[in-house]
A and B are shown apart, each in its own frame.
Chain A
């Protein structure tokens, strides 16, 4: 018996595969859509060089020299002076709230020290939770030190460095990237798992016919939906606990704020993502499609929410998309509680927005889901 020619069976196989692919519009869309979106996001929106970090200035010297220092820092392009404050407390509050990511503090004796030929120091406090922003801040600060020192030394003929701008990183003194990333992972993981697993689980029931079988029974719509949702809420919390524990154990991430508060606020985020998962299940017919659509939704979450790349560095349209993602607000809450140790008074805005998202998404997805189960 001779071997069947390998060629003759390969080409029909290829023809069939391409035909199938062409007809599966959904996979086609994903095949082109996902790389296109990724390319646009990475090429256009993601910036790793951080500029224009919003900065507050506390100028206690209020002299021509101090103003000159502020200018030097401004001219590096890495900072935007957005606020002028009157006290250290004000500066601290602004950093806690995330309104600014850096604060320049010029002490009252700055001018005096310069005049007396002593080293004049100033301080730049940086929200070092985000290593990219803070490294930009640090390099700018040291550059400013040198520039300011040089211009002054040229005039006074000093041999030492007249100006020293010291950088104090807050929240992440060792500038570990794990401190920044690990809390964020909680948010990304929850979104990924909840959207993916919820949508696939529901679609699987529809594929197997068990969903239809349930609808025929006297089970109430609410029981059916709650029955599907509640276990996943539990799954979400378990995952969160695993990441937090491992993060603490392996990376020693800070847990400066109220963990209880974090868990409570996470409920809104979990519900929002569950609702999204339910929504995806109403838009797809097979488990594979559900997986593809989930991934397509999760991608911008990872890239535009501020998880890895700072949002301030992104062009405006990318920042707007970020505003439409629940993860963006949840990240603020995560980092606020874990790294900054702040509570509801600072985070109330994000909490309200997250709750609004949860409510809106649940209403929309429940409506659509009820329609699909007749």
Chain B
């Protein structure tokens, strides 16, 4: 295995997903390197969520292959699941359980037990400043705190790859900024992060971006490369231009 290959945390080859005739994703080729913060952008319906779900093992690809953290998503889904964290817009938290209980549940499910788990839970409480809200019911938390808790639950087992599907939607600017500081810290420590977002300031913080449109990958590269490719001053302009084209062709 070459050094470059060992460096690839997520690879997709000709990934395709069709739902009853409707093709959501087609011919997707992707390579994400270890420790990268990789952004996936695109209008609604472009296949972002479907792509993430295929890479997580939530849905099966119609054809094509995907490798995450060194394991094939279709053939070794259990190994993949142990090595990824996932955070969706809905957060996936149990409202009736407290902050601590949610974290404890998810860490158990990821195989942490006993002293190891307790230590890790204490660590996360401090890292994410959740200690003050330790015994508060998750349902009563505000958006920013829920987001923090969801991240804790997704990273309890310190996965090498993190999938975040619009993690900052509807969250206040201060929480958003703090969240991204954490993301960058995780990436610096070696975690590979794939994130979808509609926020352009977040997109420009990504190491590389991928633009999806109607299930196809139409651009991959650093924010500057993409701006150059589409001859637009900012990533936001690229996005608006692509959306305009999408609507024109529709």
Q: Do A and B bind each other?
A: yes
A208 to B92, alpha carbons, bound, how many Å?
Answer: 6
Pairwise interchain contact A212-B92, C-beta atoms closer than 8 A: yes
Q: Which chain A residue shows the least CB distance to B89?
A: A209
| B205 vs chain A, min Cβ distance (A) | 25
Q: Which chain A residue shows the least CB distance to B106?
A: A217
A208 to B95, alpha carbons, bound, how many Å?
Answer: 9
| Contact partners of A209 in chain B: CB under 8 A | 88-92
| Contact partners of B78 in chain A: CB under 8 A | 218
Pairwise interchain contact A216-B81, C-beta atoms closer than 8 A: yes
Within 8 A of B (CB), among A346-374: 374
| Contact partners of B111 in chain A: CB under 8 A | 218
Q: Which chain A residue shows the least CB distance to B77?
A: A218
A219 interfacial by beta-carbon distance below 8 Å = yes
Pairwise interchain contact A216-B86, C-beta atoms closer than 8 A: yes
A213 to B110, alpha carbons, bound, how many Å?
Answer: 12
Pairwise interchain contact A218-B58, C-beta atoms closer than 8 A: no
Pairwise interchain contact A374-B92, C-beta atoms closer than 8 A: no
The verdict on A215 contacting B58 (CB below 8 Å), with A209-B90, A209-B91, A210-B92 known, is yes
| Contact partners of B84 in chain A: CB under 8 A | 216
Contact flags B41-68 to A (C-beta < 8 A → 1, else 0): 0000000000000001111100000000
A214 interfacial by beta-carbon distance below 8 Å = yes
Q: Which chain B residue shows the least CB distance to A211?
A: B92
The verdict on A374 contacting B58 (CB below 8 Å), with A212-B92, A218-B109 known, is yes
| Contact partners of B56 in chain A: CB under 8 A | 216
A237 to B93, alpha carbons, bound, how many Å?
Answer: 29
A: which residues have CB within 8 A of B?
208-210, 212-219, 374
Q: Would you give 26 A-B contacts (Cβ < 8 Å), ordered by A?
A: A208-B90, A208-B93, A209-B89, A209-B92, A210-B93, A210-B94, A212-B90, A213-B88, A213-B92, A213-B153, A214-B92, A215-B58, A216-B57, A216-B58, A216-B84, A216-B86, A217-B81, A217-B109, A217-B110, A218-B78, A218-B81, A218-B82, A218-B109, A218-B111, A374-B57, A374-B59
